[in-house]
């Protein structure tokens, strides 16, 4: 288990995060805040898509700028079938996976001969074709999108209308996707994939059919992302071309890079951080992007390798300081809205984090001293 | 983190902690019962000006009511949909689930409204559109919990078709963006226009910036009239380019939704002598309208847009239902009946709901003129359609 | 018909040249500094806003433009020094993430500073009219000016890059920046200058497109994708490639919009032809790029030494 | 202190691995000095450290009374160090002429500075290729171009890193002859090469390094008299 063993901090935090995510429906019930469940359902679904992107982007070096297309393909397959009265999940879901897999195969065949920015752009171009296809599909609402009147029917086995059930299904798919990614990456197949990322010519001369390996990974990622689309359709009861717009693909890349590409749990961290920040900042001010934009720049400059990179290199102090700053803002903000208890608690937490960050920094500094003398 | 920056952080923290009780004090006292309204519109990005206008008008309506409906205080939560369907849906769900609002209102864009529609309806919360009026919701997907305080998409376009007949246009060229509302627009015009459509271009949506190819084709086709539908900034772009091509003086331009108080600041002279239709105008002589427009101008030093006027009506529509039910919003049937009655003074004058909860209303021809102080404004020329009901109502089984 | 064909060609050329102005700066920065600058679109937007503000202030479009160019270059240099300089040696995706953050920032910034409603750039009246290029073919004066400026700019860039010592250093820096430094050239300064030049070009593109497309928040976002398409088709770092690709895209896109419906109408029924033509003309550029990349995976004019 | 270049006890790291361990050497004006040793012993790293391309983290590097350790490479070049790098590193997308004049300068204030014409005179072969792109030249032509390019900056000190590696014997000879002429003209040169035979004729003094430090130094006569040194450290 090489990919997991050498960074236990990340794994611990990720497992804790997954555990916390599993508690969301209970917390939503306890705090009587059903929106919490809604928010996290979306986060978990996006995390599935980000994990799938990371498989090809992080491990395979294939920067797909059209990954949102598969969300759309998955969603549209379900939506169109539902529109024609086919609600059985046993038909809808496999067909959606098949369609997104086929699309990925087609896109991969055309694009995998190119490299670098050219690969980025050709995947964008092909995804834009899919986007315009959705935009022009007036039979299915065009850009207005299509409302799905009835969710997929598992014949009474799983009730998707029951919100916690749907959430746990998404959560389970996320865990499964992570496991799949883990197994793939640590298999011989994954080794070749990663080897080809750093030097595809050498892998080819050793005798591995690099193109076929890459194509396979590309298709797997497309199918997993298509599944995210299926879940998204089930969750929002709505599909529209907007979910395939290039900016959505861009968001996915941002989530993966923010979290740390080429690390198993990076995309999970990235998605949670990205969407939570978006939700919280935008609830404070309409001008939230003026804060969010520079945060991204700072993350790139100071936390190399994203959140996961910072964790791995023991830059926990930077993360802590970041969280503390965030909590500080949050505390000051909520001081204007709610009574004294909550803001005080938040500020105390911020204080604790600052202290912890300092402690970590000191420990690191002293460890460095010791190591160098 | 260096030692000195750490100390600074500590100092800030300490100061904030000390200031907390002061800041928190006013929030502590909270009243018991409130009417809660969620308002979803676009408050960021290129079209934020419209969302802001809607918010301003909604706030003005609340001011006019003394921020009370039927004697009960009102609280409004505004949310930004970023013009993205899934964000709009999430914000709507937040309003329904966390803020537990009694009404949701707003919605500029059809696709945002359609994405947000089902959660609201399933939650049995009344959804009042202050702008978007897609045909699906007027027809087979109509709902007891949905009301459009604005119009049905086709109404303004059909009025253009009728206006073209009145002006004696025989050959028409149409340009609209290639998306659902653009299709509705061209079909709406064709529904009443009796002449011949000599050409029709559907432009790439949303990223086409330049209409030179279409304008050259218009020049070559030599029509009597040109009809365009380009909301917000696309309208400015088309008008600018049409004028730069020198066509404006030769071929009259007809449009709906393409000129409003926001775009007019940029279009200026370009919008003079063009033919427009709208269900509302700043100069409609009704008392409610005069009060709305007068106070809006006073407060914001600016003209309201039709988006704002519809939001003002939406606020009053909600107030009328709260008043009629004496604040008992649990009785959904009573609320619905009160909403259907639409007993409020609309800024549009005569206003009533059809069976599908879309308005039956007049559509006016409007034109741009230069005011005495050199500004630009819209004024009403004539009534093109009277007490008009949209054509989809028949498909609604309600 | 022939006249219309020619007019549509001019339209395409003009759109293409506008795209070239934007793409030239992008390909310069990308090719030489190996920096993926998504914020190029934001610099384009800010250039347009600068021009609008300065035009309003001075009352003259040309004075406004003259002020907007150095302002755009200066803004670019500030961005480079503050945020991007540390990212040259990083992974492309780090650059994507950071410059994505800059886009968000600039869009909100413009909204706070200039308001949400957008601005118009007032042209002198002689530019609002038309010039008669050929008998029976009046053409909008300002669009004609765009063609002139675009061609002039292409010529200027050709001379700068091919004939001056600065141009040699720029090309040398593109292929081997360490060696340029080891021969005594301050590569940081050179890069900052190049970035400033790229930003000035973005501002020029913005202020030339402002009067026809209006100045709006987010105006740089979609066109940036088109500019990326251009530089990828042309080959990264190649000004000549960017020029050819931009003009090709402009002409093909315009011709597609202008003539596809009729062409398809000759063998399909009108309503099918209409739908298909609209769908096709939206996709045309992307189909073109995909085709080019399938056939030539490094674009039409891959720069040597990369 | 008449030393042109003084390197005193520098340590240099690539990431975490240390390559130079207290490396020292010095060159006087007008002197030709060589740096010899097997592959991977730190010759190129020494040069990169002098140039500021891979900065040394400890020690002192002095050049004409200035401390240049830690300066960015362009500042080192500007003070008057001209580099002919390993692998030649000609700009492939510049023509021969452009390669020569792009970075030209008169850094040592010579009354008769190197010009394009003088370099062409030195390497007549380049004249016929002046319009060709850098990547269209043969290895030998590229090497001449690289030397010419460094000369065009009129350096106080010329550094050549593996200048004859992989070249045909005749071309090698031409390069050695050229260096001989430069020496006559009073040009200080630091040469990294493996060709002991040619170097003992050309150079005044030699440094032999192993594992990042100097293990032997002396003049040409001493080196020729010490076959064990040649055998042990240079593998001859």
Considering only residues B22 and D105, tell me which one the structure prediction assigns the higher pLDDT. Answer: D105
Q: Is A161 on the interface with C (CB under 8 A)?
A: no
How many Å lie between the alpha carbon of C123 and the closest alpha carbon of chain B?
Answer: 10
Distance from the Cα of A33 to chain C's closest Cα (Å) equals: 30
Residue B9 confidence (pLDDT): 41
Judge whether C276 and C268 are in contact, CB under 8 Å.
Answer: yes
Contact call for residues A115 and C266 (beta carbons, < 8 A): no
Contacts of A57 in chain C (CB under 8 A): 93
Pairwise CA distance, residues B127 & B143, whole Å: 10
Query: Measured between CA atoms, how close is C77 to chain B, in angstroms?
Result: 26
What's the mean pLDDT when you consider all of chain A?
85
Q: Burial of B33 by CB count in 10 Å (0-12 exposed, 13-18 middle, 19+ buried)? A: exposed
Query: How would you classify the pairing of strands B275-278 and B146-148?
Result: unpaired
Smallest CA–CA distance, residue B329 to chain C, in Å, is 37
Could you count the other beta carbons within 10 Å of the beta carbon of residue C28? Answer: 24
Q: Which long-range contacts (CB under 8 A, 24 or more apart) does C121-129 make?
A: C121/C48, C121/C51, C121/C52, C121/C55, C121/C61, C121/C64, C121/C207, C121/C210, C121/C211, C121/C215, C122/C55, C122/C56, C122/C61, C123/C61, C123/C211, C124/C60, C124/C61, C124/C62, C127/C61, C127/C211, C128/B243, C128/B244, C129/B246
Contacts of D73 in chain C (CB under 8 A): 178, 181-182
The dihedrals phi and psi of D225, each to the nearest 5 degrees, come to -85, 0
Please give the C-alpha separations between residue D211 and each of C120, D23, D34, D219, D224, in angstroms, as whole numbers. 68, 10, 17, 21, 22
State the nearest Cα–Cα gap between A321 and chain C, in angstroms: 20
B294 lies in a domain? yes
Average pLDDT over residues C126-153: 91
What angle in degrees, to the nearest 10, is found between the helix axes of C239-265 and B212-221?
40
State the pairing for strand pair D32-36/D205-210. parallel
At residue A298, the pLDDT reads: 83
Q: Map tokens 């009629």 to a residue.
A: B324
Confidence band of B251 (pLDDT split at 50, 70, 90): very high
Lowest average pLDDT, out of B23-27, B196-200, B234-238, D117-121, goes to B23-27
| Residue B13 sits at the chain A interface (C-beta within 8 Å) | yes
**Record: contact A337-B117, CB cut-off 8 A:** no
The reply to whether residue B46 touches residue C218, judged by beta carbons under 8 angstroms, is: yes
Alpha carbon C116 to its chain's center:
24
Residues 6+ apart with CB under 8 A from B210: B237, B241, C11, C15, C212, C213
- Bridge-based pairing of strands B359-370 and B275-278 is antiparallel
Q: What is the CA radius of gyration of chain A?
A: 22
How far apart (Å, rounded) are the C-alpha atoms in residues A230 and D21? Answer: 61
Q: Cα torsion for B95, B101, B106, B111, to the nearest 10°?
A: 50
Sign, CA dihedral D61-D62-D66-D72, equals negative
Query: pLDDT-derived band of residue A341, with 50, 70 and 90 as boundaries?
Result: low
Ranking A307-321, B208-222, B350-364, D26-40 by mean pLDDT, the lowest is A307-321
- β-pairing, D32-36 vs B35-41, is unpaired
Inter-chain residue contact C142 with B244, CB threshold 8 Å:
yes
Average pLDDT over residues B299-309: 94
Residue A252 contacts residue A67 (beta carbons within 8 Å): yes
pLDDT at A369: 55
pLDDT at residue B192, as a whole number: 94
Most confident region among A216-230, C25-39, C170-184, C279-293 by mean pLDDT: A216-230
Using H for helix, E for strand and C for coil, what is the string for B287-348? Answer: HHHHHHHHHHHHHHCCCCCHHHHHHHHHHHHHHHHHHHCCCCCCCHHHHHHHHHHCCCCCCC
B122 and B41 belong to one structural domain: yes
Confidence at residue A6, expressed as pLDDT on a 0 to 100 scale: 46
Residue A363 predicted with pLDDT over 80: no
Q: What pLDDT score was predicted for residue C86?
A: 87
Q: Does B260 touch chain C (CB under 8 A)?
A: no
SS3 for B222? coil
Interchain contact B203–C (C-beta under 8 A): yes
> Which residues does chain C have within 8 Å of residue B241's beta carbon, measured at their own beta carbons?
140, 212
Structure tokens at A327: 């909590």
pLDDT at D235: 75
Which tens digit of pLDDT belongs to each residue from A119-169?
A: 998 999 999 999 988 888 888 888 888 889 889 988 888 899 899 999 999
**Is the Cα dihedral A274, A279, A280, A285 positive or negative?**
positive
Distance in angstroms (rounded) separating the CA atoms of residues A252 and A66: 9
Q: Residue A43 in contact with residue A275, Cβ under 8 Å?
A: yes
Cα(C297)–Cα(A142) distance, integer angstroms: 33
Stretch among A93-97, B169-173, D81-85, D108-112 having the lowest mean pLDDT: D108-112
Q: How confident is the model at residue A334 (pLDDT cuts 50, 70, 90)?
A: low
B353 sits in which H/E element: strand B352-353
Q: Alpha-carbon distance D96 to D134, whole Å?
A: 6
Question: B212-228: per-residue pLDDT in tens?
Answer: 999 999 999 999 999 99
Please report the pLDDT score of residue D231 as a whole number: 85
**Same domain (yes/no): B235, B119:** no
Structure tokens at B277: 């239709």
Residue given tokens 């997308």 in the structure block:
D93
Work out the minimum CA distance from B236 to partner chain C, whole angstroms: 7
Angle of helix C2-33 relative to helix C40-58, nearest 10 degrees, comes to 110
User: Which pLDDT belongs to residue C241?
Assistant: 93
In chain C, where the domains are located: 10-219
Of all residues in chain C, the one with the smallest CA distance to D85 is C179
**Quick check: C9 contacting B, CB < 8 Å?**
no
Question: Are the C-beta atoms of D175 and D166 separated by less than 8 Å?
Answer: no
Which residues in chain A are closer than 8 Å to C40, comparing Cβ atoms?
A: none
| pLDDT, greater one: A3 or B397 | B397
Question: Chains that contact B by 3+ CB pairs under 8 Å?
Answer: A, C
Contact B245, C44 (CB under 8 A): no
The total number of residues written for chain A in this structure: 373
What is d(CA C165, CA A141) in angstroms, rounded to the nearest whole number? 58
D and B touch with 3+ CB pairs <8 Å, answer no
pLDDT at C207: 95
Q: Which of D169, D215, D210, D209 is nearest to D190 (CA)?
A: D209
CA distance B301 to chain C (A): 15
Determine if the peptide bond prior to B116 is cis (ω within 30°): no
CATH number, position B212: 3.40.50.2300
Q: Which of D74, D83, D93 sits opposite C185 (nearest CB)?
A: D74
Whether the Cβ atoms of residue A306 and residue A299 lie closer than 8 Å to each other: yes
Determine contact: A315 vs chain B, CB below 8 A: no
> Taking every pair of C-alpha atoms in chain A, what is the biggest distance, in angstroms?
74
Kindly state the average pLDDT of the residues C277-306.
82
Residue with tokens 């990308």, as numbered in its chain = C30
Gap between the Cα atoms of C301 and C232, Å rounded = 9
Look at residue C301 in the predicted model and tell me its pLDDT.
Answer: 87
How many domains are contained in chain D?
1
β-strand pairing of D188-192 with D32-36: parallel
Q: Which of B278, B309, B334 is the last residue of a domain?
A: B278
B29-82: pLDDT as tens digits:
333 489 999 999 998 888 889 999 999 999 999 999 999 999 999 999 999 998
Residues D169-179, mean pLDDT to the nearest whole number: 90
Mean pLDDT for the stretch of residues B287-310? 95
CA angle centred on D224, ends D220 and D230, rounded to 5°: 110
Average pLDDT, chain C: 90
Q: What is the pLDDT of residue A364?
A: 66
Question: Domain range spanning residue B118?
Answer: 35-151+282-357
DSSP per residue over B148-204, as a string?
ESS--HHHHHHHHHHHHHHTT--EEEEEEESSHHHHHHHHHHHHH--SEEEEEEEE-
Residue B14 has pLDDT above 60, yes or no: no
C113 in contact with B, Cβ within 8 Å: no
Smallest CA–CA distance, residue A114 to chain C, in Å, is: 5
User: pLDDT value at position B21?
Assistant: 35
pLDDT tens per residue across span A232-272: 999 999 999 999 998 899 999 999 999 988 889 999 999 99
CA gap C36, C34 in Å, rounded: 7
B71 belongs to a structural domain: yes
The more confidently predicted of residues A338 and D62 is D62
Domain that holds residue D145: 3-234
Please give the average per-residue pLDDT across B115-141, as a whole number.
93
3-state DSSP of D146-215: HHHHHHCCCCCEEEEECCCCCCCHHHHHHHHHHHHHHHHCCCEEEEECCCHHHHHHHCCEEEEEECCEEE
Contacts with C, D 133-172, CB within 8 Å? 133, 135, 149-150, 153
Say yes or no: domain A3-265 is CATH 1.10.287: no
Cβ neighbors of C151 (< 8 A, separation 6 or more) are C17
Report A:211-250 residues touching B (Cβ under 8 A). Answer: 236-238, 240, 242-243
pLDDT grade for B290, boundaries at 50, 70 and 90: very high
- Give me the mean pLDDT over the D147-172 stretch: 92
Per-residue model confidence (pLDDT) at position D1? 45
- At residue A202, the pLDDT reads 83
Position C275 pLDDT exceeds 90: no
- The residues with which D7 forms a beta bridge, in sequence order, are D25, D61
Report pLDDT digits (tens) over C71-118: 999 999 999 999 898 888 888 888 988 999 999 999 999 988 998 888
Interface check for A117 against chain C (CB to CB < 8 A): the answer is yes
Reported as a single tens digit per residue, the pLDDT across A35-51 is 889 999 999 999 999 99
- pTM, two decimal places: 0.89
Q: Give the pLDDT band (50/70/90) at residue A337.
A: low
Residue from C297, C300, C306 whose CB has the most chain A CBs within 10 Å, to mutate: C297
Percent of chain A residues topping a pLDDT of 70: 85
Residue A100 has pLDDT above 80, yes or no: yes
C81 in contact with chain D, both atoms CB, cutoff 8 A: no
DSSP states of D43-76 as a string?
HHHHHHHHHTSS--SEEEEEETTEE-TT--HHHH
Give the tens place of pLDDT for each residue, B343-396. Answer: 999 999 999 999 999 999 999 999 999 999 888 999 999 999 999 999 999 999
Give chain C's contact residues with A (Cβ, < 8 Å): 30, 36, 83, 86-87, 90, 92-98, 100-109, 111-112, 221, 225, 228-229, 232, 236, 275, 278-279, 282-283, 286-287, 289-290, 293-294, 297-299
The domain total for chain B is 2
Whole-angstrom Cα distance, residue A263 to residue A269? 10
Q: What is the DSSP string of A103-145?
A: HHHHHHHHHTTS-HHHHHHHHHHHHHHHHHHHHH-GGGTGGG-
Q: Is residue B207 very low, low, confident or very high in pLDDT (cuts 50, 70, 90)?
A: confident
Put simply, the answer to whether D91 touches C176 (Cβ < 8 Å) is yes
Chains D and A touch (3+ CB pairs under 8 A): no
Tell me the backbone φ, ψ of residue D92, rounded to 5 degrees: -70, -25
Which of B253, B278, B303 corresponds to the end of one domain?
B278
* pLDDT band at C135; cut points 50, 70, 90: confident
DSSP code of B393?
G
Of B125-139, B195-209, D151-165, the least confident = B195-209
Interface contact D51-C182, CB threshold 8 A: yes
Torsion, CA B71, CA B75, CA B81, CA B83, rounded to 10: 40
Does the residue B388 lie in any domain?
no
Rounded CA gap, C130 and A129, in Å? 37
CB contact under 8 A, B245 and C214: no
Are β-strands C130-134 and B376-388 bridged in parallel, bridged antiparallel, or unpaired? unpaired
Q: What is the pLDDT of residue A187?
A: 92
State the Cα–Cα distance between residues A124 and C10, nearest whole angstrom: 29
Nearest residue on chain C to B234, alpha-carbon basis? C213
Question: C8, C16, C116, C150: best mutation site toward chain B, by most B Cβ within 10 Å?
Answer: C116
| Closest CA–CA distance from residue C216 to any residue of chain B (Å) | 6
Q: Which of residues 56 through 85 in chain C touch B, CB cutoff 8 A?
A: none
C-facing residues of B in 57-86 (CB < 8 A) are none
Largest CA distance in chain C: 68
A363 CB neighbour count, 10 Å cutoff: 13
Tell me the pLDDT of chain B averaged across its residues: 88
Q: By the CB < 8 Å criterion, does B240 face chain C? A: yes
């Amino acid at each position: 288990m090489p990919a997991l063993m050498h960074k236990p901090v990340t794994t611990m935090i990720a497992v804790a995060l997954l555990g916390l995510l599993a508690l969301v429906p209970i917390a939503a019930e306890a705090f009587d805040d059903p929106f919490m469940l809604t928010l996290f359902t979306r986060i978990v679904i996006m995390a599935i898509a980000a994990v799938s992107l990371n498989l090809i982007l992080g491990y395979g070096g294939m920067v797909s700028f059209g990954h949102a297309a598969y969300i759309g393909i998955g969603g549209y397959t379900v939506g169109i079938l539902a529109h024609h009265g086919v609600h059985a999940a046993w038909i809808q879901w496999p067909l959606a996976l098949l369609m997104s897999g086929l699309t990925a195969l087609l896109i991969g065949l055309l694009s995998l001969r190119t490299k670098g920015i050219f690969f980025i752009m050709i995947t964008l171009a092909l995804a834009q074709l899919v986007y315009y296809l959705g935009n022009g599909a007036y039979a299915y609402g065009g850009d207005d999108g299509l409302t799905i009147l009835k969710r997929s029917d598992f014949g009474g086995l799983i009730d998707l209308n029951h919100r916690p059930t749907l959430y746990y299904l998404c959560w389970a798919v996320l865990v499964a996707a992570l496991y799949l990614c883990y197994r793939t990456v640590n298999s011989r197949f994954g080794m070749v994939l990663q080897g080809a990322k750093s030097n595809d010519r050498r892998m080819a001369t050793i005798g591995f059919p690099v193109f076929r390996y890459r194509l396979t990974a590309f298709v797997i990622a497309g199918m997993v992302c298509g599944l995210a689309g299926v879940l998204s359709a089930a969750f929002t009861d709505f599909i529209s071309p907007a979910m395939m717009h290039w900016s959505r693909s861009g968001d996915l890349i941002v989530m993966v890079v923010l979290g740390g590409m080429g690390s198993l749990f990076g995309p999970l961290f990235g998605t949670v951080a990205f969407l939570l920040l978006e939700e919280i900042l935008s609830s404070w001010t309409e001008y939230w992007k003026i804060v969010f934009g520079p945060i991204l720049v700072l993350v790139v400059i100071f936390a190399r390798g994203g959140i996961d990179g910072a964790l791995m290199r023991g830059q926990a102090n930077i993360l802590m300081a970041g969280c503390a700053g965030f909590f500080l803002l949050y505390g000051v903000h909520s001081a204007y809205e709610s009574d004294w208890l909550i803001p005080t608690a938040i500020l105390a937490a911020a204080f604790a984090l600052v202290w912890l960050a300092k402690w970590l920094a000191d420990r690191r500094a002293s460890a460095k001293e010791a190591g160098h003398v | 983190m260096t030692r000195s920056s750490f100390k600074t952080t500590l100092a800030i923290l300490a100061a904030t902690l000390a200031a907390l009780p002061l800041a928190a004090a006013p929030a502590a006292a909270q009243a018991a019962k409130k009417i809660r309204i969620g308002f979803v519109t676009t408050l960021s990005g290129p079209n934020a000006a419209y969302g802001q206008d809607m918010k301003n008008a909604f706030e003005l309506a609340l001011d006019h009511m003394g921020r009370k409906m039927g004697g009960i205080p009102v609280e409004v939560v505004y949310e930004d949909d970023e013009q993205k369907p899934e964000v709009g849906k999430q914000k709507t769900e937040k309003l329904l689930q966390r803020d537990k609002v009694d009404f949701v209102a707003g919605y500029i864009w059809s696709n945002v409204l359609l994405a947000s529609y089902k959660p609201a309806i399933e939650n049995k919360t009344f959804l009042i559109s202050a702008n978007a009026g897609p045909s699906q919701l007027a027809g087979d997907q109509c709902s007891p919990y949905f009301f459009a305080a604005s119009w049905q998409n086709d109404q303004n376009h059909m009025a253009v078709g009728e206006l073209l007949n009145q002006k004696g246009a025989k050959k028409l060229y149409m340009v609209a963006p290639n998306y659902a509302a653009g299709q509705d627009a061209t079909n709406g015009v064709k529904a009443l226009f009796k002449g011949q459509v000599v050409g029709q271009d559907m432009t790439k949506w949303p990223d086409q910036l330049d209409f030179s190819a279409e304008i050259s084709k218009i020049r070559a086709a030599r029509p009597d009239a040109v009809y365009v539908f380009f909301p917000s900034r696309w309208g400015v772009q088309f008008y600018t380019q049409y004028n730069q091509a020198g066509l404006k003086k030769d071929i009259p331009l007809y449009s709906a939704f393409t000129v409003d108080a926001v775009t007019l600041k940029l279009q200026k002279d370009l919008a003079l002598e063009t033919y427009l239709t709208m269900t509302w105008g700043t100069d409609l002589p009704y008392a409610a309208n005069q009060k709305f427009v007068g106070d809006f101008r006073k407060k914001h030093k600016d003209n309201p847009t039709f988006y704002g006027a519809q939001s003002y009506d939406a606020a009053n529509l909600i107030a009328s239902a709260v008043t009629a039910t004496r604040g008992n919003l649990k009785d959904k049937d009573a609320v619905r009946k009160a909403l259907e009655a639409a007993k409020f003074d609309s800024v549009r004058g005569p206003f009533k709901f059809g069976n599908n909860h879309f308005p039956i209303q007049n559509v006016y021809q409007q034109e741009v003129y230069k005011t005495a102080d050199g500004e630009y404004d819209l004024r009403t020329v004539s009534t093109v359609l009277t007490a008009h009901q949209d054509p989809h109502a028949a498909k609604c089984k309600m | 018909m022939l006249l219309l064909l020619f007019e549509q060609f001019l339209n395409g050329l003009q759109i293409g040249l506008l795209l070239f102005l934007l793409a030239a700066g992008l390909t310069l920065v990308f090719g030489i500094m190996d920096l993926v600058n998504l914020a190029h679109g934001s610099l384009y937007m800010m250039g347009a806003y600068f021009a609008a503000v300065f035009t309003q202030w001075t009352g003259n479009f040309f004075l406004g433009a003259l002020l907007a160019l150095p302002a755009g270059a200066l803004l670019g240099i500030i961005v480079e020094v503050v945020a991007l300089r540390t990212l040259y040696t990083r992974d492309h995706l780090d650059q994507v993430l950071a410059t994505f953050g800059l886009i968000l920032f600039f869009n909100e910034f413009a909204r706070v500073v200039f308001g949400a409603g957008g601005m118009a750039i007032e042209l002198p009246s002689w530019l609002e009219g038309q010039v008669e290029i050929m008998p029976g073919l009046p053409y909008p004066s300002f669009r004609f000016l765009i063609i002139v400026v675009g061609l002039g700019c292409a010529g200027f860039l050709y001379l700068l890059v091919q004939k001056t010592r600065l141009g040699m250093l720029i090309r040398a820096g593109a292929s081997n920046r360490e060696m340029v430094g080891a021969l005594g050239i301050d590569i940081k300064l050179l890069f900052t200058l190049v970035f400033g030049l790229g930003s000035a070009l973005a501002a020029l593109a913005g202020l030339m497109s402002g009067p026809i497309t209006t100045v709006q928040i987010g105006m740089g976002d979609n066109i940036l994708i088109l500019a990326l398409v251009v530089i990828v088709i042309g080959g990264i770092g190649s000004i000549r490639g960017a020029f050819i690709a931009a003009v090709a895209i402009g002409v093909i896109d315009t011709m597609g919009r202008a003539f596809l419906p009729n062409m398809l109408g000759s063998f399909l029924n009108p309503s099918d032809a209409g739908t298909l033509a609209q769908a096709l003309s939206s996709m045309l550029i992307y189909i073109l790029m995909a085709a080019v990349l399938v056939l030539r995976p490094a674009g039409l004019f891959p720069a040597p030494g990369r | 202190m008449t030393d042109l270049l003084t390197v005193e006890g520098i340590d240099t790291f690539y990431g975490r691995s240390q390559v130079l361990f207290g490396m020292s050497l010095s060159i006087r004006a007008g002197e030709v000095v060589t740096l010899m040793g097997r592959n991977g012993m730190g010759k190129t790293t020494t040069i990169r450290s002098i140039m500021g391309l891979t900065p040394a983290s400890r020690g002192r590097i002095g050049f004409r009374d200035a401390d240049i350790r830690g300066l960015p490479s362009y500042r080192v070049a500007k003070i008057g160090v001209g580099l002919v790098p390993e692998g030649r590193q000609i700009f492939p997308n510049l023509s021969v002429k452009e390669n020569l004049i792009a970075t030209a300068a008169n850094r040592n204030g010579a009354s008769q500075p190197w010009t394009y014409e003088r370099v062409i005179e030195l390497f007549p072969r380049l004249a016929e290729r002046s319009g060709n792109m850098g990547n269209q030249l043969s290895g030998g032509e590229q090497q001449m171009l690289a030397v010419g390019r460094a000369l065009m900056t009129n350096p106080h000190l010329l550094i050549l890193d593996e200048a004859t590696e992989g070249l045909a014997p005749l071309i090698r000879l031409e390069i050695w002859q050229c260096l001989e002429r430069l020496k006559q003209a009073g040009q200080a040169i630091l040469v990294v090469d493996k060709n002991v035979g040619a170097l003992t004729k050309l150079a005044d003094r030699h440094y032999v390094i192993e594992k990042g430090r100097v293990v032997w130094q002396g003049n040409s006569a001493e080196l020729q008299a010490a076959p064990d040194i040649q055998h042990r450290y240079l593998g001859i």
